[in-house]
Amino acid sequence: MKFKLIALLIGVSTLGQSQSITLEDIWASGKFRPQYVYGLRSMNDGLNYTELINDRGGEQTIIKTAYADATQQAPILSSGDLAGTPNPKNGALRIEGYTFSGDEKKIMIRTGTESIYRHSTREWNYVVDVETKGIKLVSEQKIRYASFNPSGNQVAFVRDNNVYVSNLENGSEIQVTSDGENNQIINGATDWVYEEEFAFDKAFFWSPNGKKIAYYRFMEGGVREFNMPYYKGGLYPEDYKFKYPKAGEDNSRVSIFIYDLESKKTSMVEIKDYYIPRIKWSKSDDYLTITGMNRHQNNLKLYWVNANTMETKVILEEQNDTYIDIHDNLTFLSDNKSFVWTSEIGGYNHLYLYSNLGQKKSQITKGDWEVTKVYGLNEKSGVVYFEAAKESPMQREVYSVKVSGSSLNKLSPNTGTNSASFSKGFKYFINYHSTAKTPYYISVHDAKGKEIRVMKDNQTLKELIGQYATASHEFLQVPGADGTLLNSWMIKPKNFDADKKYPVLMFVYGGPGSQTVKDSWGSSNYLWYQMLADKGYIVVSVDNRGTGARGEQFKKMTYLQLGKYETEDQIAAAQWLGKQGYVDASRIGIWGWSYGGYMSSLCLFKGADVFKMAMAVAPVTNWKFYDTIYTERYMQTPEENSGYEENSPINHVEKLKGKYLLIHGTGDDNVHFQNSVEMVAALQKANKQFDLMIYPDRNHGIYGGNTRLHLYNMMTDYVMENL
């Protein structure tokens, strides 16, 4: 069977240094932390941006800088301006985030931020007058999602599951909703599963002129509760309960309301769809768009809602034999009837122009490649700016194209992975570039792609890494179970000898639309793999069938069978590796986190004669334990699909021959610790020996304090002792 080696060998250190990377270097000292640009906001003039600067003395400053000339700078607000401000937490007021009002005369400061779940937070919010530096606390309690209205004289927010509006001029407060109740009704914020799987948590939106607010209401009463004990070193654990709908169970009942600030009238939009993953105002206060989906997520409707009469009509509908991914790529033109939209209806994700409210469409981009992100539309010039995997699924480029489909131009100059942040008006963009061997190179470009200046080049970090015993990084393609060539990367020891036989550690994620094989900076894990290579291991990652940027057919072929084909591909890749003269076929291991933990478990059990060991961090062990939206998108419900049991690693534990390390945090609100408890029970029932590490109260990310250092120390030892 043939395989293809892509001609891309990346960076062998040629200086001959003998320094070795340590776990403390990676996870404790911050030695390899790259420079980046944080808190950046484009200003209305499109010529300047702001960023939050934290100096070593603790001083914080929001600075305005010209895109074209970094020497043209001016401070807008500093922490010194906030000195003496009463802080409800009785400490110094730290700027943890900020937003401008529409006229840029006020700044909203976020401080005392408290995480709820992966994205959601509550915090104190202050409004600062840019000119006078006068400051006001928005609410005497911590609140969520404080947002200026377009004119900047009001702030809407969520408190105690209700929506409020505060008048900044007279201090009055309007309570828009009053029925919010913990674990029963949420107004203006999402429930757990919408936040996690539809990727938004703020669930209210000002209309363009600020006369109306559209908001979600989640009725959680019928959703079953999940409880987690938090130990926290006390005599009795705290029992935390929250609504979490597992596959096949009831979801929240979701409704959309529109509140009119002048009439104080609230109206409900009458639509019957099971999910409402998006709402968005059109170009006016008169019309709102709502995206609705059925429970199987294979039928999508885009509704046009008259915000005055509540009349609705469908302006776009898509159906699919498998599922439809949700996106934020809806942009209305000024006629308020035409819009740009992305879709996979042609087999690859591309841009489309709809006119007359969806009645006509034309395809803007075409080809066997994927649009991966839309940055926006400059209607004045008729140009759409977007990111794509056009040159390779393993790379990303920034492009522009006319709405007509002509004049497709690549704007990012360097091969690798690029992403962009455009100025208002699209005169400039900041390009973030990296490759597998080089950390971020951040530069300012004009709208045609010409580089104007460099913001961060991470040259110091590159030189530092060059002082260590770094190894080669190769991109290649290896055959999957059905012969499909799969994108892969391989890191070999620096002094690699093809006549020797090396052990191999594979890294897998493998979930729908994901990628681990990209020409981009791999950060801490990349450095860990370099450390393992320095100790004599080959490290490999393979993007199995079902992963992203290779078209709809490649991605969706795992539908209803999560785990089956992905595992077959990983096992086939390991078998191919074992046939290479430089690999010790008796010493191949695999590890992964979350979906990757699910995969590494399945691979070890189903591929018992191929893999010697596996490490599974926070794994799903049966999809029936995971949430409705993610799981049913790919699997339908447990009642409809036997694939839940057929591809659960729990049901294959009797095949275990090698070493198995199971790792989980007890405070994981995402992939519940229950998954690992059920795995432990199955292994014990089958009389199979295994290793287990528990991280008390840690969530899905397993971090905080020395946790990551401990985790990677343990995994490193496990690799060296068992592979």
- Share of the chain residues as helix, strand and coil, in percent rounded to the nearest 5: 15, 40, 45
Strands 538-542 and 41-42: unpaired
416 — alpha (psi -120 to 50), left (phi > 0) or beta? left
Using an 8 Å Cβ cutoff, are 600 and 563 in contact?
A: no
- Tokens 């600062």 found at: 128
**Residue 473 annotated as catalytic:** no
Provide the 3-class DSSP secondary structure of residue 66: strand
CA angle 483/487/490 to nearest 5° reads: 115
Taking the C-alpha atoms of residue 597 and residue 620, their distance in angstroms, rounded to an integer, is 7
Short-list 707, 354, 395, 341, CA closest to 520: 395
End-to-end CA separation in angstroms for the chain: 28
CA atoms within 13 A on the CB side of 555: 21
Taking the C-alpha atoms of residue 283 and residue 304, their distance in angstroms, rounded to an integer, is 12
Residues in Cβ contact with 13 at an 8 Å cutoff, skipping those fewer than 6 apart:
466, 468, 469, 470, 494
Sign of the four-CA dihedral 457, 461, 465, 466: positive
Provide the 3-class DSSP secondary structure of residue 380: coil
**Residue 328 annotated as catalytic:** no
Taking the C-alpha atoms of residue 564 and residue 537, their distance in angstroms, rounded to an integer, is 28
**Residue 700 annotated as catalytic:** yes
Strand partners, 240: 228
Short-list 561, 569, 527, 536, CA closest to 643: 561
Q: Which of 668, 669, 672, 676 is catalytic?
A: 668
Q: Which of 207, 282, 594, 601 is catalytic?
A: 594
Taking the C-alpha atoms of residue 617 and residue 79, their distance in angstroms, rounded to an integer, is 41
**The token pair that represents 616 in the structure block:** 């599974």
36's enclosing H/E stretch is none
Taking the C-alpha atoms of residue 470 and residue 466, their distance in angstroms, rounded to an integer, is 7
Provide the 3-class DSSP secondary structure of residue 534: helix
Beta strands in 130-181 (DSSP E): 135-137, 144-148, 154-159, 162-167, 173-175
Taking the C-alpha atoms of residue 272 and residue 339, their distance in angstroms, rounded to an integer, is 24
C-alpha distances out from residue 41 to 128, 290, 419, 427, 696, Å = 17, 28, 16, 14, 38
Give catalytic residue positions: 594, 668, 700
